[in-house]
């Protein structure tokens, strides 16, 4: 009777197919409910808040005038592109030097798995402007340190889960600076990334890969979503 019902299909083949479908459904459900912690850091007015807004509501983001104050509560965002989706969690945080300790607090508390360090072209258009370089130096020192440096001279040794899986350097506002600097090679060889090579090498030496990316967070949501998905899938 069962054999007639199956119409000659191999039972083992059917069970294997069912198991595969069930596993894929379970994996998809897990990706929806399990949020991956991303940390987004960088100098003031580089576009961190715009990136958070783009992740929260896809589309053209209005101009944001106010600077972010302190560290905001992390929130969930769903990234969907190319028929795939991931749930991530990010927290907006100020970029001025007196908020850098908040970056550390965010990384330590949420055990951030992927770090996005955002830049724009200010270090190319204003040679005297070292905001990106100084904040990058702080971030690299923070990530590479074997210890969490705590108040009153105390420290706590980091565990493996305290180190990020990968660090992305995202050159934001590409739509504004793409025609300002002559460059004919691959985008990851663009001079906008040049001042950060030493820090990237330090991270690579620690076994933390770096991902160079260009993005227009305000006007191009696909670039944002594809960048997030690339980091999750390839690292």
Residues 170, 126: contact at Cβ < 8 Å?
no
pLDDT by residue (tens digit) across 147-163?
A: 999 988 899 999 999 99
Domain ranges of the chain: 1-33, 35-234
For CA atoms 126, 128, 129, 132, the dihedral sign is positive
Full-model pTM: 0.85
> Residue 163 is encoded by which pair of tokens?
């180190």
187 or 109: whose pLDDT is higher? Answer: 109
Q: Is the pLDDT of residue 6 over 50?
A: no
Task: Quote the pLDDT of residue 30.
Answer: 47
Dihedral sign for Cα atoms in the order 111, 154, 42, 160: negative
- pLDDT-derived band at 110 (thresholds 50, 70, 90) equals very high
Convert the pLDDT of each residue in 189-235 to its tens digit: 999 999 999 999 999 999 999 999 999 999 999 999 999 999 999 99
pLDDT digits (tens, 9 = 90+) for 32-89: 568 999 999 999 999 999 999 999 887 767 777 788 999 999 999 999 999 899 999 9
How do residues 171-186 score in pLDDT, each as one tens digit?
999 999 999 998 998 9
CATH superfamily entry for domain 35-234: P-loop containing nucleotide triphosphate hydrolases (3.40.50.300)
b/e burial code for range 29-67 (CB count within 10 A of at least 16 → b): eebeeebbbbbbbbbebbbbbbbbbbbeebeebeeeeee
């Amino acid at each position: 009777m069962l054999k007639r019902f199956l119409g000659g299909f191999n039972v083992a083949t059917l069970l294997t197919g069912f198991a595969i479908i069930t596993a894929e459904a379970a994996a998809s459900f897990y990706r929806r409910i399990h949020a991956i912690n991303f940390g987004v850091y960088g100098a003031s007015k580089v576009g961190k808040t715009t990136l958070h807004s783009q992740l929260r509501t896809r589309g053209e983001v209005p101009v944001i005038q106010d600077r972010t104050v302190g560290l905001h509560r992390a929130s969930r965002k769903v990234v969907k592109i190319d028929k795939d989706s991931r749930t991530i969690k990010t927290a907006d945080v100020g970029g001025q030097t007196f908020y850098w300790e908040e970056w550390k607090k965010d990384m330590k508390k949420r055990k951030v798995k992927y770090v996005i360090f955002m830049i724009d072209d200010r270090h190319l258009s204003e040679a005297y402007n070292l905001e990106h370089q100084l904040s990058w130096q702080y971030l690299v020192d923070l990530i590479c340190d074997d210890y969490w440096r705590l108040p009153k001279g105390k420290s706590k040794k980091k565990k493996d889960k305290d180190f990020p899986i990968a660090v992305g350097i995202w050159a934001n506002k590409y739509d504004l600076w793409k025609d300002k600097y002559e460059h004919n090679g691959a985008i990851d060889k663009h001079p906008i990334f040049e001042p950060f090579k030493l820090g990237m090498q330090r991270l690579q030496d620690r076994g933390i890969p770096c991902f160079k990316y260009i993005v227009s967070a305000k006007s191009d949501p696909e670039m944002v979503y594809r960048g997030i998905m690339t980091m999750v899938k390839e690292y």
